Amino acid sequence: QVKLVQSGGGVVQPGRALRLSCAASGFSFGLYSFHWVRQTPGKGLEWVAVMSADGRKTFYTDPVKGRFTVSRDNSKNILYLAMNSLRVEDTGMYYCARDTTAAEREFDYWGQGSLVTVSS
Protein backbone atom coordinates (compact mmCIF):
# COMPACT_ATOMS: atom_id res chain seq x y z
CA GLN A 1 0.00 0.00 0.00
CA VAL A 2 1.01 3.64 -0.42
CA LYS A 3 3.14 4.93 2.43
CA LEU A 4 4.88 8.22 3.05
CA VAL A 5 7.07 8.05 6.14
CA GLN A 6 8.63 11.25 7.35
CA SER A 7 11.73 11.84 9.44
CA GLY A 8 13.72 14.82 10.59
CA GLY A 9 12.32 17.74 12.45
CA GLY A 10 13.13 18.88 15.95
CA VAL A 11 13.97 21.97 17.93
CA VAL A 12 16.43 24.45 16.44
CA GLN A 13 17.51 27.99 17.15
CA PRO A 14 16.63 30.82 14.79
CA GLY A 15 19.07 31.07 11.91
CA ARG A 16 19.95 27.39 12.00
CA ALA A 17 19.16 24.67 9.46
CA LEU A 18 17.17 21.46 9.39
CA ARG A 19 16.37 18.80 6.78
CA LEU A 20 13.17 16.81 6.53
CA SER A 21 12.83 13.51 4.67
CA CYS A 22 9.82 11.73 3.23
CA ALA A 23 10.37 8.09 2.27
CA ALA A 24 7.86 6.62 -0.15
CA SER A 25 6.84 3.05 -0.77
CA GLY A 26 4.05 1.07 -2.42
CA PHE A 27 4.00 2.98 -5.72
CA SER A 28 6.24 4.25 -8.52
CA PHE A 29 7.79 7.25 -6.79
CA GLY A 30 9.30 8.72 -9.94
CA LEU A 31 5.90 9.17 -11.58
CA TYR A 32 4.55 11.63 -9.03
CA SER A 33 5.04 15.22 -8.02
CA PHE A 34 5.25 15.96 -4.33
CA HIS A 35 4.41 18.89 -2.11
CA TRP A 36 5.41 20.10 1.33
CA VAL A 37 2.59 21.61 3.38
CA ARG A 38 2.94 23.09 6.84
CA GLN A 39 0.42 23.62 9.57
CA THR A 40 0.73 26.34 12.13
CA PRO A 41 -1.72 27.48 14.78
CA GLY A 42 -1.89 30.92 13.29
CA LYS A 43 -2.14 30.13 9.58
CA GLY A 44 -3.74 26.70 9.34
CA LEU A 45 -2.64 24.67 6.34
CA GLU A 46 -0.10 26.48 4.19
CA TRP A 47 1.39 25.11 1.00
CA VAL A 48 5.18 25.43 1.12
CA ALA A 49 6.76 23.89 -1.99
CA VAL A 50 6.33 21.46 -4.86
CA MET A 51 8.74 19.37 -6.89
CA SER A 52 7.84 17.82 -10.22
CA ALA A 53 8.09 14.10 -10.87
CA ASP A 54 11.33 14.42 -12.80
CA GLY A 55 12.80 16.84 -10.30
CA ARG A 56 13.27 19.60 -12.87
CA LYS A 57 10.62 22.02 -11.62
CA THR A 58 10.15 23.50 -8.18
CA PHE A 59 7.96 26.25 -6.80
CA TYR A 60 7.94 27.81 -3.37
CA THR A 61 5.68 30.01 -1.32
CA ASP A 62 7.12 33.52 -1.03
CA PRO A 63 8.00 33.41 2.71
CA VAL A 64 10.45 30.51 2.17
CA LYS A 65 11.97 31.44 -1.18
CA GLY A 66 15.75 31.51 -0.97
CA ARG A 67 15.76 29.68 2.36
CA PHE A 68 14.07 26.31 1.67
CA THR A 69 15.06 23.81 -1.01
CA VAL A 70 13.06 20.78 -2.05
CA SER A 71 14.85 17.89 -3.68
CA ARG A 72 14.30 14.23 -4.40
CA ASP A 73 16.26 11.05 -4.96
CA ASN A 74 14.25 8.89 -7.32
CA SER A 75 16.70 6.02 -6.88
CA LYS A 76 15.96 5.93 -3.14
CA ASN A 77 12.32 7.02 -3.31
CA ILE A 78 12.92 9.91 -0.93
CA LEU A 79 11.77 13.52 -0.97
CA TYR A 80 13.66 16.14 1.02
CA LEU A 81 13.08 19.62 2.34
CA ALA A 82 16.22 21.50 3.34
CA MET A 83 15.36 24.46 5.53
CA ASN A 84 17.99 27.15 6.12
CA SER A 85 17.96 30.43 8.02
CA LEU A 86 15.01 29.20 10.03
CA ARG A 87 12.74 31.75 11.67
CA VAL A 88 10.39 31.51 14.63
CA GLU A 89 7.46 31.79 12.22
CA ASP A 90 8.59 28.59 10.45
CA THR A 91 7.50 26.64 13.51
CA GLY A 92 4.86 24.06 12.72
CA MET A 93 4.04 20.57 11.55
CA TYR A 94 5.37 19.82 8.08
CA TYR A 95 3.72 17.26 5.83
CA CYS A 96 4.79 15.76 2.52
CA ALA A 97 1.92 15.00 0.16
CA ARG A 98 1.57 13.24 -3.18
CA ASP A 99 0.17 14.74 -6.36
CA THR A 100 0.00 13.52 -9.94
CA THR A 101 2.82 13.73 -12.45
CA ALA A 102 1.67 17.13 -13.65
CA ALA A 103 0.94 18.43 -10.13
CA GLU A 104 -2.58 19.41 -11.11
CA ARG A 105 -4.72 17.34 -8.77
CA GLU A 106 -5.61 17.10 -5.14
CA PHE A 107 -3.18 15.58 -2.61
CA ASP A 108 -4.20 11.98 -2.26
CA TYR A 109 -1.66 10.70 0.28
CA TRP A 110 0.08 12.50 3.12
CA GLY A 111 2.99 11.70 5.40
CA GLN A 112 2.45 11.53 9.14
CA GLY A 113 4.09 14.91 9.71
CA SER A 114 7.36 16.26 11.13
CA LEU A 115 7.30 18.82 13.92
CA VAL A 116 9.67 21.75 13.52
CA THR A 117 10.15 24.13 16.43
CA VAL A 118 12.28 27.21 15.94
CA SER A 119 13.06 28.80 19.27
CA SER A 120 15.95 30.40 21.09
Contact residues: other proteins, CB under 8 A = 35, 44-47, 50, 59-61, 95, 103-108, 110-113
| Alpha helix (H) residue ranges in the chain | none
Sheet strands (E) in 1-120: 3-7, 10-12, 18-25, 34-40, 44-51, 58-60, 68-73, 78-83, 92-98, 114-118
Least Å distance, CB 8 to other proteins, is 16
Which is closer to other proteins, CB of 91 or CB of 114? 114
Which is closer to other proteins, CB of 112 or CB of 119? 112
Least Å distance, CB 81 to other proteins, is 15
- Please enumerate in sequence order all residues whose Cβ is within 8 A of that of 28, keeping only pairs 6 or more positions apart, or say none: none
Least Å distance, CB 104 to other proteins, is 7
